[in-house]
Amino acid sequence: MKENTQITVNATRMQIEEFKESVLWKDISRELDFWLEGFNREQDAIVDNASLNNYTSASILLHLGDINGRKKAVAYFKQILDVFLEVLDEKKESQDKGLEDN
């Protein structure tokens, strides 16, 4: 079975740009910023707790890795509209190139 690893964007460039400027996207972005702040506080607390308690290095590293993964996921999601726009640009370039080849 062939795996589809390409992102498909069904929205238009205008729809994405309008959503990017919408109050809803601003609310979502603000909430994601709040999450990132919480992840940073959690990360700082781990370092503080590690100096006071007898945690193993492995458990601390696993927890830090988990937090870093969450932070990366949030950062990616905050850029998702730009990713969609890039996909549309690449699709247009590919179509334009196909027309030039004919």
Q: Could you tell me the pLDDT band of residue 17, with boundaries at 50, 70 and 90? A: very high
* Residue 89 in domain: yes
Cα pseudo-dihedral 55, 61, 64, 69, rounded to 10: -150
* pLDDT reading at 102 higher than 60: no
Which H or E element spans position 101? helix 80-101
Question: Is there a domain that residue 73 lies in?
Answer: yes
Per-residue pLDDT tens over the stretch 58-87 = 888 888 999 999 999 999 999 999 999 999
The answer to the question of residue 52 being in a domain is yes
Query: Is 100 inside a domain boundary?
Result: no
Residues 25, 53 contacting (CB under 8 angstroms):
no
DSSP for residue 79? T
- Rounded Cα distance, 60 and 48, in Å: 11
- What CA–CA distance (Å, rounded) separates 39 from 50? 16
Domain range for 69:
39-95
Residue type at 64 in one-letter notation: L
Domain count, the chain: 1
SS3 state of residue 67: helix
The residue ranking higher by pLDDT, 33 or 2, is 33
